[in-house]
Structure formats: structure tokens, C-alpha cells
Amino acid sequence: MDFFQAFIIAVVEGLTEFLPISSTAHMKFAGPLIGIKVPTPFTNMFEVVIQLAAIVAVVVLYHKKFFNFKRPEFYLKLILGVIPSIIVALLFKNKIDSALDNVTFIAYVMIGGGIILLFIDKLFNHPMFSDEQSINYRRAFVIGCGQTLAVLFPGLSRSAATIVTGMAQKLTRHEAAEFSFFLAVPTMFLASVKSFYDTYTQHPEVLNTSNLGLLLFGSIVSFVVALIAIKFFIGFLKKHGFFVWGIYRIIVGVIILILIGRGVIA
């Protein structure tokens, strides 16, 4: 991986992390198109860690909520929400790793998730709760259970899974999206720590000065782009919902399958 490739992957991550279109899928698709034909231990770790960098944008934009220590229930809800994903990741690690390396599988999940998004706005069009206090411990845990679907099916989109689960709990799109952003912080922090530790213990040779420089550069780019993307998505979601993202996912998934069939993507 060179700086150009790191820049493209980081921009893709920052733009897609908070959209219901799967940042993981887009990074897996973009890699082969810019010359990363075969994933390496470093590129796999790079893709996880720069997701954490994008998530840090949430902490910056919502710093008043994240650092309001007078409300410990906020942190307890996030802990409850992240527990299901931890359990699933530990139980099905090998299958998840295998799915992450299968671009064809990810493309089909993109299409399937897109079809579902076409109907979400009509299915959950009568929200009852529009404030954070309405997200009690039970709802936080249920949303966390929804997040496990994205862990098991790379390409589904963590944000899509959690936002839709929140809407199924009668939350408004806006409130479900914000909690999805908050829940991403502990989720991606733990995933990044584990990915970095695994790389350090199993492939320490890849953590050289050059690669660490690429990782820092990619993280900064991902963070800056994510700051812009969050603002855009919240505003767009309020006005337009999920239908357009469903169409987009289906189109991208079909294009990737065509590229795979023609040998452009291995």
C-alpha cells in the first residue's frame, strides 16, 4: 500500500462509515480497483483502524454528550449495546473472517440489504420517540442485537442495521441515527484494538515506520472526511429516508458482481 492507495481507501471510509451502504464493502471493492489485488495483514488492519478514526469524528461533533459525566446511564446504554457484538465476534470469528475475504458474498449482501432498504421508510413510518431519553436500557440492548447482523454479514452496513433496528423500536430516523453513531464508538474502539493487537502479535514485521506513517495518514484523512459526512447524512436522512440508498446499494452490488465475473476483481 502506498500513500495514494491509503488516501483513496481513507476517503471511501470517511464518506461511507455513517451511510447505510457499508464502508467495509466499499473498501473491499475499492482495494482491487486501485491496485490492492490481494489483502495483506496490514491492509486488513488498516481498514479496521481507520474506521475508528472516522468514529472519533462522532466524539468531536457530540463532545457535550460524550463528556457529560453527570449522566452515567448514557455510557451504560452504550456498554449494553456493544455486548451482543462482542459475543458474536468471539463465537463466529473464523466465519466472519472468511466472509470478509469473500467479495462475491459481500456484493450479494449489498444487494440484499439494498432491497430491504427500499421498504424501510414505509414499514416504520409512525415513530413515537424523538428524544434520547426514550432510548432505555432495553432499546439500547435490542439495537445492539441488530448490530450483530452487520458483524455476521459483512456488507450489510453497521449503521443501516442499527438505525433500522432503532426505527423498529419506534425511534425517529434522526434519533436512531444518532444512537447508531454513539454505539459505533465503543464498537470500533474494541475492533481496532483487537485488530492492531492481532497484527502486532502475529505479523509484527508489518508495523514498520513506513506502514505506521500510512496508518496515521489514513486515519487523519478518514477523520476529516467523516466530519463532513456525518452532517450531510443526518440532514439527508431527515428529508429523504432510505429509498435512494437502497437503489444505490443494488446498483453497486450488481456492478461489482459484473466486475468479478469479468475478472477485474478477483
CA distances from 259 to 76, 115, 130, 143 (A): 44, 21, 42, 35
- What residue spans define the domains of the chain? 3-261
Q: What is the mean pLDDT of residues 116-137?
A: 84
Statement: the pTM of the whole predicted model exceeds 0.85: yes
State the amino acid at position 26 in one-letter form.
Answer: H
262: phi then psi, degrees, rounded to nearest 5: -90, 0
State the amino acid at position 13 in one-letter form.
Answer: E
Q: What is the pLDDT of residue 4?
A: 94
Q: List alpha helices for 92-157, DSSP H.
A: 93-100, 103-123, 137-152
Q: Does 97 score more than 90 pLDDT?
A: no
3-state secondary structure of 171: strand
d(CA 109, CA 256): 12
State the amino acid at position 8 in one-letter form.
Answer: I
User: For residue 129, what are the β-bridge partners?
Assistant: 171
> What's the grid cell of residue 84?
451482543
73: Cβ–Cβ under 8 A, 6 or more apart, which residues? Answer: 137
Q: What is the mean pLDDT of residues 234-255?
A: 87
Q: Which tops the pLDDT comparison, 245 or 37? A: 245
Residues in the chain: 266
> What's the grid cell of residue 225?
472526511
CA distances from 39 to 21, 169, 256 (A): 21, 38, 17
User: For residue 193, what are the β-bridge partners?
Assistant: none
Buried b (16+ CB within 10 A) or exposed e, 77-103: bbebbbbbbbebbeeeeeeeeebbeeb
Q: What is the mean pLDDT of residues 76-96?
A: 92
Q: What is the pLDDT of residue 40?
A: 87
